[in-house]
Amino acid sequence: MTEPARTLDLYRSRTWAEVNLDAVVHNIRVLRMALPARTACMAVVKADAYGHGAVPVAQTAVAAGATWLGVATAEEALELRAAGLPTPTLIFGPVPAPWLEPLVAAGCSLTVADWATVEALRRMDGPHRPRVHIKIDTGMTRLGFAPTALDAVLDAVGSAPVAVEGVYTHLASADDPDPGMTRRQLDAFTEAARLTRSRFPAAICHAAASAGTLAHPDAAFDLARFGIAMYGVAPAPHLATASLQAVMTLSSRVVRVQRVAAGTPVSYGATYRASRATTIATVPVGYADGYPRALSGRGVMLIDGRRRPVAGRVCMDYTMLDAGDVPVREGDEVTVFGPGLPAAEVAGIAQTIAHELFCGIGRRVPRIYTRAGRPVAVAPDVGTRVVEIGTAG
C-alpha cells in the first residue's frame, strides 16, 4: 500500500470531512457571473473558512480570482499571512489596540466601526500607514457608524495617519423575498459611499455578501463578499441555484451492528424504543464532532445511499441509526451530509442554518482536501497544520 493510501485509510477510519476544492473554484465562477465585470470579489474565510479550513480554501479562492480575503479576527488574518498569503485581507471585527501594530505591519486592512478605534489609530506613530475601511450601520444594528455620523468620522479619519481604503455596510435582509429593507439600506449606503468618495475618491465601496450578490445586482458596487454561497449553499431557498456545488461532505463508518427485539430502548433516556425487530447501527459521530444534538430522534443519515433515521438521542461521540431489515456491516460508510443529503437539509431538520452546521464540525474531524476527485492534502486537526499527501493511486 502506498504512503498516500495509508494516510487516507488512517483519516477515513472514523469520521471525516472531504473538502472539494474544485467546487470552491466552480462556485466562485458562478457567483462572478452574477456580478458586473468591474466588481471584484472577496472570499470570506472567517471561522476557519466556515469550518472548511481557512488556508487551503483561501489559497484556492485566490487562484480562482478572488482579489480580497475577509476574516473576523486579528488571529485569523495573521494565520493567512503566516501561510504566505499576501492577498489584501480585511478584518471585519473591531481590533483591540495591542493587535494594531502587528496587523498594520502585516499589511492587513482594518475596519473602523467605532470611535475607540479612530482614537487608537490617531495615536499610532509607526513606520507603516494603516489601511482602513469605514463600516456604516444602515440597518443591521450590529457594528458601524450611523450614516448621520459619517461627516464627523471622515473628518477624524482624514486627520489621522491612515489610508482610507474603503467604506462598506452589511445587508441584514438581502435573503428576504421582500426587498423593502434592503432597498432602504442600499439607499442609505449609496449616499454614504458618495460622501466618502467625495473626500477619498479611491475608496472601495462594498455591501453585498452571498445573498446580495444573487438577489440584488445593484448592490455589487466595487466588491462583493462571497460567503456561504462559495461553500455551495444557497443563502435562502428562493435563491437556490443548481449551479452551486457542495464543497463539504461529512462521512463516517458503522462501528457496531446489533439486531434488537421490539421494545428495545436506544440511547440516553430511552426516548427511542424499537417498534419492531430491527437493526441498530452505531456511528462514531456525535455533537463533539458537530452533529447537532437537536437531530436526536429527527435526523437521518445515509447507509448505502438509503436514509436511516437517528434512533434516540445524539451522544457526544456516537449516534445510533435504525437500519431496519437491510443488511448492514461494521465498516460500512455513512454519509452524514453530502450527496443525496444536502447540508442545508440536515441543518433545516435541526432548525438551524448550514453556516452553523459547518462551523460546528469539531477539531477532531480531519479535513481531506480533494482536486479532480483525488485527495491532495489532509488537515488532521484543522488549524494550520496541513499535510501534503499527493494523490492516492
Co-location of 115 and 207 in the same domain: yes
In the prediction, which pLDDT does 386 show? 52
Task: State the average pLDDT over residues 83-93.
Answer: 97
Co-location of 78 and 191 in the same domain: yes
**Is residue 28 classed as helix, strand or coil in its secondary structure?**
helix
Q: Does the pLDDT at position 46 exceed 50?
A: yes
Distance, CA of 120 to CA of 104 (rounded, Å): 13
Co-location of 212 and 308 in the same domain: no
- Let me know if residue 18 belongs to a domain: no
Co-location of 144 and 210 in the same domain: yes
Q: Is 46 a catalytic residue?
A: yes
Range of the domain at 255: 248-361
**At a CB cut-off of 8 Å and minimum separation 6, what does 327 contact?**
none
Distance, CA of 121 to CA of 107 (rounded, Å): 15
Co-location of 180 and 62 in the same domain: yes
Q: Does the pLDDT at position 387 exceed 90?
A: no
Q: Does the pLDDT at position 6 exceed 80?
A: no
Contact call for residues 232 and 4 (beta carbons, < 8 A): no
- Let me know if residue 272 belongs to a domain: yes
Q: Does the pLDDT at position 392 exceed 50?
A: no
Co-location of 225 and 265 in the same domain: no
Q: What is the mean pLDDT of the chain?
A: 94
The secondary element (H helix, E strand) that includes residue 70 is: strand 68-71
- CATH number, domain of 356, equals 2.40.37.10
Co-location of 207 and 271 in the same domain: no
pLDDT, tens digit (0-9, with 9 covering 90-100), for 215-268: 999 999 999 999 999 999 999 989 887 799 999 999 999 999 999 999 999 999
Q: Is 318 a catalytic residue?
A: no
In the prediction, which pLDDT does 53 show? 96
- Let me know if residue 367 belongs to a domain: no
Co-location of 58 and 124 in the same domain: yes
Co-location of 53 and 145 in the same domain: yes
Q: Does the pLDDT at position 384 exceed 50?
A: no
Co-location of 226 and 81 in the same domain: yes
Identified catalytic residue from 135, 168, 268, 291: 268
- CATH number, domain of 66, equals 3.20.20.10
Q: Does the pLDDT at position 367 exceed 70?
A: yes
- Let me know if residue 386 belongs to a domain: no
- Let me know if residue 133 belongs to a domain: yes
The helix-helix angle for 150-158 and 115-122 (nearest 10°) equals 10
- Let me know if residue 29 belongs to a domain: no
pLDDT band at 168 (very low <50, low <70, confident <90, very high): very high
- Let me know if residue 375 belongs to a domain: no
Task: State the average pLDDT over residues 357-377.
Answer: 94
Identified catalytic residue from 11, 46, 168, 369: 46
309 DSSP assignment: E
**Domain end marker among 198, 230, 262:** 230
In the prediction, which pLDDT does 125 show? 86
Q: Where are the alpha helices (DSSP H) in 210-284?
A: 210-215
- Let me know if residue 21 belongs to a domain: no
pLDDT, tens digit (0-9, with 9 covering 90-100), for 341-354: 999 999 999 999 99
Co-location of 192 and 262 in the same domain: no
The helix-helix angle for 115-122 and 97-105 (nearest 10°) equals 60
The number of distinct structural domains making up the chain is 2
What is the percent of the chain with per-residue pLDDT over 90, rounded to a whole number? 89
pTM over 0.85: yes
Contact call for residues 133 and 109 (beta carbons, < 8 A): yes
Distance, CA of 288 to CA of 69 (rounded, Å): 29
Task: Output the CA angle 91-186-160, nearest 5 degrees.
Answer: 45
pLDDT, tens digit (0-9, with 9 covering 90-100), for 294-335: 999 999 999 999 999 999 999 999 999 999 999 999 999 999
pLDDT band at 393 (very low <50, low <70, confident <90, very high): very low
Q: Does the pLDDT at position 1 exceed 50?
A: no
pLDDT band at 2 (very low <50, low <70, confident <90, very high): low
Strand 374-379 relative to strand 387-388, pairing:
antiparallel
Co-location of 112 and 180 in the same domain: yes
